[in-house]
């Protein structure tokens, strides 16, 4: 989605309202609080460059003494992700409308941040996957805690609906949270006999032995990291790995078909670097592994990108693998 706008901000003005004139003539001009614009653009008033990025939103602007002109806002939406701008409801951003349901939207953003531990878009399936992995590796994870997390995400998604009328009332949210509390008390009374590994979600096709790839960095050395996949279904599952970021990796195999109830070992090697990568470079490194069920007899050479498109008609499990480059132990 691309929105063109011209916004002029008087940096030293005490007014908290700025004029937002959309270049699209079909949309009426809207007044936006100055704090909102600063939140969206991470307060770019002191920036020297001509663009700033926040999540999937990129803002292009130019400076002229006391004024800033916002030239363009570009936002790219990804499948299965819920996007929002700060804590403000879309009806307020577009039309300046405020109601109780606007507060409900803000509550949805807060719940999302509490569940994910970060700000930005909500990738529902990967959030649930990471909670399950975290608890399965913990000795004392809360009984049925994953159900509570799932319910919190469900509440957040309802709060983040574009239509204010479709968002829940605060009384409905309280009732859902009380139901979670009652469930927790009942489980505690039962005891520890129900403790066991949390089963994969129905949409998970491959089980990963880790969701973070750790590379203890050394200058001018190849750094390997192994990854084991397990096909937990009765179908053949094909996967394809997409590399992101600026560092170079070698992945073997990069794509493969895993037979039912079988394992596949992958070796990911960080290529030799002449210098220590910058912390900001390491922060944005991750892999995207797409998985889909396929027919028997398909080989790695038959795997193509079209198999993982929504147009294929098949459910695609998109797994995000975080890359952690460990540089703290290096001595200058």
Q: In angstroms, what is the C-alpha Rg of the chain?
A: 23
CATH of domain 100-190: 1.10.510.10
Could you count the other beta carbons within 10 Å of the beta carbon of residue 68?
21
Query: How much is the pLDDT for 5?
Result: 43
CATH of domain 206-326: 2.60.40.10
Query: How much is the pLDDT for 244?
Result: 81
Distance (Å, whole) CA 299 – CA 297 = 6
Per-residue pLDDT of the chain (332 residues; tens, 9 = 90+): 333 444 444 433 433 333 333 333 333 334 444 554 555 454 444 555 555 544 444 445 555 544 555 544 443 334 345 555 678 888 888 888 889 999 999 999 999 888 887 776 678 888 889 988 888 887 676 666 777 888 888 999 999 999 999 999 999 999 998 887 776 665 555 454 445 678 888 899 999 999 999 999 899 999 999 999 999 999 999 999 998 878 899 999 999 999 999 999 999 999 998 888 876 556 667 899 999 999 999 999 999 988 998 777 888 999 999 998 887 654 44
The position carrying tokens 């394992």 is 263
User: Of 258, 222, 107, 102, which Cα lies nearest the Cα of 173?
Assistant: 107
Domain extents for the chain?
2-76, 100-190, 206-326
DSSP 44: G
Query: How much is the pLDDT for 50?
Result: 54
Same topology between domain 100-190 and domain 206-326: no
Query: How much is the pLDDT for 55?
Result: 42
Going by their DSSP bridges, the two strands 317-326 and 212-216 should be labelled as: parallel
Query: How much is the pLDDT for 257?
Result: 97
End-to-end CA distance of the chain: give it in Å, rounded: 45
Q: Is 21 helix (H, G, I), strand (E, B) or coil?
A: strand
**Helix ranges (DSSP H) in 78-217:** 90-95, 100-116, 124-136, 145-159, 170-190
Task: Tell me the pTM.
Answer: 0.64
The position carrying tokens 């070992």 is 265
Q: Which residues pair with 263 in a beta bridge?
A: 230
């Amino acid at each position: 989605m691309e929105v063109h706008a011209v916004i002029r901000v008087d940096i030293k003005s005490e007014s908290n309202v700025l004029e937002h004139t959309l270049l699209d003539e079909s949309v009426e001009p809207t007044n936006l609080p100055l704090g909102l614009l600063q939140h969206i653009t991470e307060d770019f008033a002191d920036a020297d460059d001509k663009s700033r990025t926040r999540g999937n939103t990129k803002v292009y602007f130019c400076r002229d003494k006391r004024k800033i002109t916002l030239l363009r806002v570009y936002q790219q939406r990804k499948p299965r992700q819920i996007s929002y701008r700060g804590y403000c409801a879309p009806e307020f951003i577009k039309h300046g409308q405020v109601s109780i349901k606007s507060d409900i939207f803000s509550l949805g953003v807060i719940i999302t941040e509490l569940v994910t531990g970060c700000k930005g878009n909500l990738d529902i399936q990967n959030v649930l996957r990471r909670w399950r992995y975290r608890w399965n590796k913990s000795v004392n994870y809360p009984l049925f805690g994953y159900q509570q997390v799932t319910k919190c995400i469900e509440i957040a998604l309802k709060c983040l609906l574009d239509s204010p009328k479709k968002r829940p009332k605060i009384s409905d949210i309280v009732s859902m949270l009380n139901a979670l509390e009652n469930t927790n008390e009942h489980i505690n009374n039962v005891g520890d006999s129900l403790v066991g590994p949390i089963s994969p979600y129905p949409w998970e096709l491959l089980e990963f032995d880790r969701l973070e790839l750790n590379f203890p960095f050394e200058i001018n050395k190849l750094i390997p990291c192994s990854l084991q996949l397990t096909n937990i279904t009765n179908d053949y599952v094909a996967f394809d790995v997409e590399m992101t970021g600026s560092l170079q990796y070698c992945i073997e195999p990069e794509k493969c078909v895993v037979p039912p109830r079988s394992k596949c070992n992958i070796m990911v090697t960080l290529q030799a670097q002449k210098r220590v990568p910058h912390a900001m470079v390491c922060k944005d490194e991750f892999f995207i592994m797409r998985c889909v069920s396929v027919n028997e007899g398909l080989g790695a050479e038959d795997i193509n990108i079209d198999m993982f498109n929504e147009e294929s008609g098949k459910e695609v499990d998109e797994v995000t693998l975080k890359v952690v480059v460990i540089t703290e132990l290096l001595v200058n």
